[in-house]
Amino acid sequence: MISDKKIKETENSSVELSITLTAQSVEDAYKALITKYSKDIVIKGFRKGKAPLKLVENKYGEMIREEATFNLIEEDLKTALDEVEDKYKPLAYSTPELKDEKSLVPFKANEDVTFTVSYDVLPQFDLPEYKGLEIEVPTASVLKADVEAEIEKLRQQNALIVSKDTAAEKGDIVTIDFAELNSDGKYDRNDFTVTIGQTPTFFNLDEDLIGMKADEEKTVTKELAKDFADADYAGKTVEIKITMKAVKFNDVPEVDDEFAQDVSEDYNTVDDLKAGVKKTLKERADARLNDLRYQAVMDKLVEACPIVAPKSMVDAQADQQLNQIAQNNGMDLNTLTQIFGSQGQSLEDLKKTWAPMIQKDINRNLIQDKIKDTEDFKVTEEEIKEGLGDTSMFTEDQIKYYTEIVTDNIKFSKVNDFLVANNNFKSSKKLSFDELMNGPVEEAPAADTE
């Protein structure tokens, strides 16, 4: 039985829980356990279970008292943790650690036992102001050049590879055999496909392929540079026999009404295509700008609310990321550890480099979760139904369980749009569409009209 229970907050979202067990409860646990053991203990001169209890106590009492007391500590700790406030409950990946265990033993008869455990809890913090903030973010527009660039991508995607009888040109797709004469064939290749001007070849054959037709052969002499990639060939002169086996080109469609109809059944004319592409690009730009606005708000909130997540929380997320990397590469964590070890690295070193980034991610999630609880967003039956999907194979209890999870996830997802809608944004700079979608480029594109 617990006679006293105290919680002390310590650094980095950790607490110490001190519990005092009554002497009576400890004695009861001890007597129950020694009585149980006395039925099975064999002591020389006595039949099994017939040795006097006093003799059993003299021989094994200290060990049994220790076991009984630790059993009681474990049981009463579980009870105490069930009863503490939610904010003081341990994180799922933080096991309460008994402090100063050596100082507890040996346990003495008829005395209270006070022990302390330490563990990590969810960080507690006050939300900073998260509505009505003034925040600078980039803006962007979809210009005529962006629409034309996207249509050009569609042209390339719809191109057909067609054989040609004329000579190969830059950009053509050719299939060749090539072999170094008077060599061991180290770099000979058969049926090697090259896009002239784009696909690198060991002997830099691009210029030599231009002008060749299918079924044509020729021998070229190559003077290789002194800093050539393969030291065995550096500074040497070699003869290469080239056989042109096929010449093909990308037959790119013209931008006409037929092409527009091929792209989508929603388009009948080129004007429809251009309008549709512009609408799609604007939707992508708007979505990206909303992401930037949300990220800017969250960055400001994280800066205003410096939460320090406990190490166990950071480690748990790092371990999850490592397991995901291993899984994505079709291996287990032991194999991943061996691979990093062979390169003179360790997973622990990797986790340390991740720590600041993970800390920031945790802070963002904690703030977002608290906003979710503060605002208590409404969730419709339609949203829940869509989130649950097919429930025909679920029991009633399963449906209830998953409904709670889905409802919470939907509320969490609403924070993004809420923060964008309830804060004020002004332009910090104007980006091109390409900069917006792919990050800054060295030179901005020339001015264009929308």
pLDDT tens-digit series, residues 363-395: 999 999 999 999 999 999 999 999 999 999 999
Ramachandran category for residue 323: left, alpha or beta (phi over 0 → left; psi -120 to 50 → alpha): alpha
Of residues 447 and 390, the one with the higher pLDDT is 390
Q: Of the residues 251, 283, 310, which one is the last residue of a structural domain? A: 251
| Residue 341: pLDDT band with limits 50, 70, 90 | confident
pLDDT (tens digit per residue) in 221-244: 999 888 888 888 888 888 999 999
Q: Which of 105, 120, 135 is the C-terminal boundary of a domain?
A: 120
- Give the CA angle between residues 320, 322, 324 to the nearest 5°: 70
- Whether the CB-CB separation of 124 and 87 falls below 8 Å is answered with yes
Euclidean distance between CA atoms 166 and 214, whole angstroms: 8
Which of 294, 298, 313 lies closest to 359, judged by CA?
A: 313
| Degrees to nearest 5, angle at CA 419 with 417 and 420 | 65
Question: Residue 32 belongs to a domain with what CATH number?
Answer: 3.30.70.1050
- Domain shared by 239 and 315, yes or no: no
Spatial neighbors of 147 by CB under 8 A, at least 6 apart, are: 274, 277, 278, 281
DSSP classification of residue 445: P
> Has residue 281 got a pLDDT over 80?
yes
Report yes or no: 325 and 331 within 8 Å, Cβ to Cβ: no
Q: Is the peptide bond before 96 cis (omega within 30 degrees of 0)?
A: no
Residues 328 and 392 in one domain: yes
Residue 450 lies in a domain: no
Compute CA distances 405 → 113, 299, 387, 408, 412, whole Å.
Answer: 41, 27, 10, 5, 11
Q: Give the Cβ contact number of residue 433 at 10 Å.
A: 22
Query: Does residue 269 form part of some domain?
Result: yes
Residue 95 sits at φ, ψ, to 5 deg, of -85, 125
- Can you give the pTM of this predicted structure? 0.73
Beta carbons within 8 Å of 399's beta carbon, 6+ residues apart: 388, 391
In a shared domain, residues 186 and 333: no
Q: Are 141 and 297 spatial neighbours (Cβ–Cβ below 8 Å)?
A: no
Q: Does residue 107 fall inside a structural domain?
A: yes
Alpha-helical regions (H) of 329-447: 333-342, 347-375, 381-388, 396-421, 433-438
**Residue 369: HSE in the Cβ half-sphere, 13 Å Cα cutoff:** 12
244 and 361 fall within a common domain: no
Of 132, 139, 129, 130, give the one whose Cα is nearest residue 426: 139
pLDDT tier for residue 93 given thresholds of 50, 70 and 90: confident
For residue 249, pLDDT beyond 50: yes
Placement of tokens 């310590």 in the chain:
10
Q: Is residue 177 part of a domain?
A: yes
With a cut of 60, say whether residue 440 has pLDDT above it: no
Reported confidence tier of residue 450, pLDDT bands at 50, 70, 90: very low
Cβ-count burial 387-422 (b if 16+ within 10 Å, e if not): beeeeeeeeeeeeeebbeebbeebbbebbbebbbee
For residue 236, give its domain range.
160-251
Same domain, 296 and 425: yes
- Same domain assignment for residues 273 and 239: no
Are 305 and 394 in the same domain?
Answer: yes
Phi, psi for 137 (deg, rounded to 5): -140, 160
The phi and psi torsions of 194 (rounded to 5 degrees) equal -130, 135
Same domain? For 234 and 276 the reply is no
Does residue 448 fall inside a structural domain?
Answer: no
Question: Which pairing describes strands 113-120 and 97-98: parallel, antiparallel, or unpaired?
Answer: antiparallel
Tell me: pLDDT of 21 over 80.
yes
Mean pLDDT over the full length of the chain:
91
CB 171 within 8 A of CB 145: no
Looking up residue 376, the CATH number of its domain turns out to be 1.10.3120
Question: What is the H or E stretch that residue 7 is in?
Answer: strand 2-10
Residues 264 and 172 in one domain: no
How does pLDDT run across 110-123, given as a tens digit for each residue?
999 999 999 999 99
Would residue 443 count as lying in a domain?
no
From 88, 106, 87, select the one nearest 19 (Cα to Cα): 88
> 358, 314 in Cβ contact below 8 A?
yes
Length of the chain: 450
Residue 130 located in a structural domain: no
Domain containing residue 222: CATH number:
3.10.50.40
Contact 25, 113 (CB under 8 A): no
Total count of domains within the chain: 3
End-of-domain residue from the set 202, 232, 251: 251
d(CA 190, CA 196): 17
Cα 200 to the chain's mean position, in Å?
34
Helix 333-342 vs helix 347-375: crossing angle, to nearest 10:
130
